[in-house]
Every structure is written in C-alpha cells, then in structure tokens.
Structure 1
Amino acid sequence: MFSSLKIRNYRLFATGAVVSNIGTWMSRVTQDWLVLSLTHSSAAVGITTALQFLPMLLFGLYGGVIVDRYPKRRLLLVTQGSMGFFGVVLAALTLSGHVQVWHVYLIAFFVGVVTVVDNPTRQSFVSEMVGPKQVRNAVSLNSANFQTARLVGPAVAGVLITSIGSGYAFLFNGLSFIAPLVGLTLMRPGELQKGHTVKRGKGQLREGLRYVKGRPELIAPIVLVGFVGTFGFNFPIWLTAFANTVFHGGAGMYSLFNILIAAGSLIGALLAARRRSTRLRLLIFAAASFGLLEVLVSFSPFVWLFCLVLVPVGMMGMTNNISANTTVQMAAEPAMRGRVMSLYMMVFVGGTPIGGPLLGWVTDTFGARVGFASGGAVTLIAALAIGFVLVRVIGVRPKMGLRNGMPYVELVPRPGSRAEGELASAA
C-alpha cells in the first residue's frame, strides 16, 4: 500500500504536500464560509468556486504545453511559492478587517491561474519521482495524502473560525507552502527519472488534441470526469446550504460534513493504493454509485443519516477520480503526458465555472435537497450513458499489459463487435 514512500524524493514531496494540503483545506472551508457570511447566498459561494476554476477552463490546454516544455521541479517551485503569497495576502485583508467579497473573488481567480500550470505539473511529476511501475501506487497515495489533509483541515478551520476568526486559517494556508518548497529544494535531481521536455514550436496545442482524438482509452475517462467534476463535486455549495438552511447548524457542522466526505475519500484512496490494475468497469461503477448516493443522501430527513451516507459518497467519488487519473496517465506517452493531463484537469475542474453557478442557482431557487439531487442525477446518467456507448455501441473492452517494459492500458474490440468489424475492414 505504501511502496512509493520507499523513494526518498517522493517522501519529501509527500511530506511537503500533506502540510500544504492541510492549509489548502483550511482555506477552502474558511473561504466558503466567509463568502456565505458576507453575502448570505449559495450562488455567491458557487461564483467563488467558479472563479477559482475558470482559468483552467480558459487556459488549461496552454498550461499543458508549458508543462511539457520546462523541467517540472522548477515549475513547482514557482507555482507553490505563488500560491503561498496569495494565501498571505488574503490573511492580511481578513485580519485587518478590510476584506470584501470581491477580494475573495479576485484572489480565487489568481489562485486558479497558478493552478493551470501547478496541477498538471504535479500530476505528471509523479512518474518522474517514482518511475512507471509505481505510478498507480503514487497517484493513490497522493489522493490519500490530500484526503488526510481534508480530514484535518476542516476540523482545524472550524475551531479557528468560531474561536479567533477566519484570518488565521488563511495565514496558516499561506505559510504552509514553505513545506513543499523545502521538500522540492532538498530533492536529489540525479534520482529523478529522466524527464521528457518538448522544444518550443508551433502547433503543440493542436498536436495534443489530435493525440487524444480517436483514443477511446483516453476519451472515455476524460469525458466521464468532465460530467463528474462539473455536476457531482459541488460540495461547497450543497454542504454550506445543508449546514445553514436544512439542519440549521453553523461553521462547525459544515466542517463536520467536509470531514466525513474526506474520511470516505481517504478510504477510497487507500483501497485504490492496494489495487494492482485499473479496470474501466470499476470507473463506470464508481461514477454511477457516486451519483446514486448523492441523490439518496439529498433526501435524508435526519442529520445523522445524512452524515452516515456522506462517507460512501466520498469513497465512490475518490475511487472514480483515481481510476480515471491512473487510466489516463498510463495510456499517455511520456512526451504527451503534460498536455494530456492538462486536458484531463481542464475537463475535470474546468466545468466548475459552469456547474457551480448553475447548481448554486438551483440550490437557492429550489432548495438544497433539489440542488444536491440534481448534481447526482446528472452524474449517474452520464456514467450509465458512457458505459452503454463503450460496451454496446462501440463494442470495446479494456486491455492492460506491458509494452517495452512500460505498463499500458487500452481499449480493444470485443469479439463480434462493430469495432472489430471496422478494424478488419481497415486492414
């Protein structure tokens, strides 16, 4: 389960990441509650989330081109330092009493701009630290790392918000980025796998899109996570609304909801770390279960039942995310991995500027229960539709193995399927 931690560079990376991730989750929970307190609007929370992910939608593919051109460790030093700076700025505004909602909007957007490069860099840097045989394990442990921080961060944020104020949570977030910067500095470059960088040239963005086009093993998980990310992962909107208007709790209850989602996500990540292979049917099953559970939990009449179901919601959501992430990384060639992962992240989080305000409006207009159920229903329908298209219409099945000593995953025609007939005709 923890085999990647035997590698020194990855240990440094993971140690720094867990500290900064705790700060990030403290900041996210505090940011959502601050916006709700300033505006009393779930739609405003959705706008904040949308602004943070809008740059990924607008510039995500260009971020992938940058990732493929430059050394990833050097890029991470710049991006992690920038996010720490914005955390300190928001802390200063809040502690001084001058913070306004437009300040939060603006900083959320700037953080999103940095994320355009930071996210695909971190995703693709994993293989350079651990090598191809440990990619799946390292991706799973990264997710476990993130979810462990998600357990701690909201709890600490809830205490800070109710005791000494939101500003100190933002300050901890800004200072927490010192840890990954130290870890990156202490790494031994000679122990990293040789990175693949691409020289500056014309048409590299189109080249990445052409590479993905016509590859069902890449298109299927990317399309699916697009629906899941756009409609299924709007927890800041729904959980603030349930804590505030349905169960009439406060910041402490909102933090509890986040902790329960994180607990389920951590379980899903650790179970994924034990698996030796990724199956497309697991990806479809996890996405469908995730959507169905969101529909069911939205109509929970009791807060204890709502809390209980949040754990499997988090587990299925994380199982889907890790399965999709690993499938895409294994299927992409190293020289294209930055662009492919940027497309993956653009689709996954880039839909939030659409889904966030839309589901925020639904939640404000029709209530938290309808808003939560709507997101889950779209996710469920998308999972079933993509599974049907792959199996029945295209007629493919997943195939995994080793190619030149490198693990790979691809979709091949099922015997007697339309895809097999088209392949035979082309031959």
Structure 2
Amino acid sequence: MLLNNSSLTEMMTGTDELETSLGHSLDLLMERFGQLEPHIRAFVPEADVEQRLRREKDLLLRTYSGAEAKPALFGIPVAIKDLLHVDGLPTRAGSQLSAELLTGAEGSLVTKLRALGAVIAGKTVTEEFAYNGPIATRNPHNTGHTPGGSSAGSAAAVAAGICPLAVGTQTLRSVIAPASFCGVVGFKPSYGRVPLDGVLLFSPSFDTIGFFTQDLPGMEAAAALLVPGWQAPPAVMSRKPVLGIPRGVYMELMSPEVKAAFTTQITVLEQLGYRIRHVDMPWKDEFIYGDAMIRFVQGELAREHERWFADHREEYGLPVQEAILRGKQIPDEELEQYRGQQMILRRDLKELMVQEGIDLWVSPAQGGTAPKVEENNTGWAGLAAIWGFAGSPSISLPAATIGNMPLGFQCIGTHGEDEALLAWARELWPHIAYNSAEA
C-alpha cells in the first residue's frame, strides 16, 4: 500500500506563521511526490515542477506578507484534473491532440482556489476526454489495480496523501467510481451548482465538477469554500435521516460480495435506529440497463468535438473516435428528448422523496471493487449514472473492504440540497466508515 495521511482540516488549522506553514506544506508535497508518484503516476508529467512551485511559493509570500490573516487554503496543494484549464499549464485531456488546440482560459473554480491561497500541485491523469482510453495511473491500495476513471489521478493523489484535496469531474461515474476504488471521499455536487467555465466539456447535460478528500470533515470544509452559495447546515442534525433503497434492477447491478457488504451495513444502521424504505423508482429498469444514457453522452460528445474531429480524427484514440462517430448519427431531436426526461426525473425524484419521507437514497458506490489493470475496466456506470442524469448530488464514503480493496457507500440527495446531503452523510459517517464485516 502507498497510503499516507493527508487531512485537509489539519492542514487548514496549521501554524499561522506564513513562511513556516508554506515551507512545510510544499516540502511535504515534494517529498511524497518523489516517493509515491513514480509508483502511482497520478499526475501528468510536468517539466520543472519544483521551479514552478517555488514561484508559487514566492508569490504567496509576497501577496500575504503583513496580512492580518492568511486565506483558508494558504499553501495547501490541490490537484486539478486535466480537463480544467490552469494558467501556465497545458490542457491535453489524456489525448494526443496538441495543447495549443485544447488549452483555454482558466475557469472561476481554479481562480477561486488561487484566491484562497491554494498551490496548484499539478494536472492529474484522466482517460481521454473523460470518456475512455489507457491510463498510467495505479491504485495506491494495490498498484496491480485501477484507481478508477475518469478522474483517476485526482482520486489516487488524495488516497496516496500527495495532496489533501483534488478536483475532478463526473459525467456518468467519474468521481464516484475512483473515490470508491481508492477509499477516499468523493463528492459530486448538484448539476449546475459549480460553474463549468474553464472546463473542457464531455457531455454538457451531465458534466459536473467534483472533489476528493481523505475524510468527510475535509469534504465539508472544501464544499463550504468552493461550492457557490454554500449555506452551512446545522452542526448537529435533529434526527436520523430516513434512507431509501431503490427496488428493481438497480440493486442487481453489483457482485454478490458487494451486495453482502451493503446488506451488512444496512443491518447495522437498522439496529442503530435508522429507518430504511425500499421504494419503487420513477424510472424504468430498461432505462438503467439499456444504452439510452450512453447514446445521450455520445451525442453530446460528438457535438463538443465537431470543431476538431474532422481535421484531427487520427489523433483521437479508437474508443473516442468510435463514440464520436456513433454520436454524430444521433439526431438532435433525440438529445432534446433526453434533456426533457432529465427534468422530469429530477422532479419525480424530489416528489417521491417527499411522499415517502426519504432524506437520502443509499447504495453501494460501485458494483465491485477496483478491477485489475489488465481487465481494462475503470468502473461501472450503473449505480452512479442515473443520479447524474437527474442532476442529483451524490457522495461516496469509504465504508468497507473486500479482498483488501476499498468499497464506497453512496449517498444521494435532492437536486440543489447539497448542504443537506453532506449533513446527513455526517450523521452516517461514524457508523459506516470501514465498520462492515469483511465480505
């Protein structure tokens, strides 16, 4: 295992002495980078990374020297998925297309991180255009296994303890899967809650910026700083949340070992007084099990890449080429129908939660633990994609191990009520964090 503690909240409450705080943070970053990065390969290779970090250090010291208080993320290294533009660093998105073609203006999230005093640790590895393709990154729990995708490098960097916070994106399962596989907390906010400016888009009707931390307190701190309009929930909730579990094919999209681990977790929660409701869902099983969501994202992918694909087709990897060619054949009218269905499902889920008195939907985060690298599989969309289709916020909490590999417990809330999701997750956290029996 290549795992080290890297608590965001501990780093945020470190010494107030600027140069000491910043020096310690960057020394630790470079020490762990040197020890771990050759094995997990979470970051896009960057020439002269130490020189860039020294420049960032000097700028921070000049900016905040004499200030009454340092900003919340002063000197804290944050990794950024290579779909987000960062001034001074190229964007390649895991592809062979030129950085000159793809790189754009830095977005508001990265600019906000800088304003909060964060140090950009580097760009992290992603599957090609967040869709599919080979990745060099390995799982810090066992380098023979994938870290998941497409936010592979972001999850692996946090799990290994190279940095305490990383940014990813999710279309179908690209935050929830790597969080589950790497044993970290992965939070995908509600669709539209975090601005997507400065992001190389895959499927604009799905794409959502997400975050990785090692623990839930760190995620709460990150969300309060980085999710616009965040309203701090009560420190202690007045009751236990009511948990909903979908009926139907949804709960069959997992291995017997995962189902056994989840059943154990639910039994523990019931014994602690949590109410569990098994509910018929406002979707058809064939929608989850079929190819409609894949058609939707491929159709949007084709349109996002229309300006490049004709001239640079051979520079795309074969899986992305094939996806774009399929997407080009999908009519605009079909895509509009999917967008309408998104709004209907979002409404129906909210109404169902009110009707049944449900605060959170819960399920395993993935149908299995991290596959071996040679299996060429970086995750399953089944247990995550439908919630993304509805725009719901979701979070994966490290909650079990199977064969010494992590498995996340997924909590899903109501669109726009991200604060409540994290507050309810806080109530569950002490009872499900790695406390289930070894399956």
Does TM-score exceed 0.5, indicating one fold?
no
Q: Which has the higher strand share?
A: 2
Question: Higher RCO, 1 or 2 (CA under 8 Å, sep at least 6)?
Answer: 1
Q: Which has the higher helix share?
A: 1
When normalised by structure 1's length, the TM-score is 0.28
When normalised by structure 2's length, the TM-score is 0.28
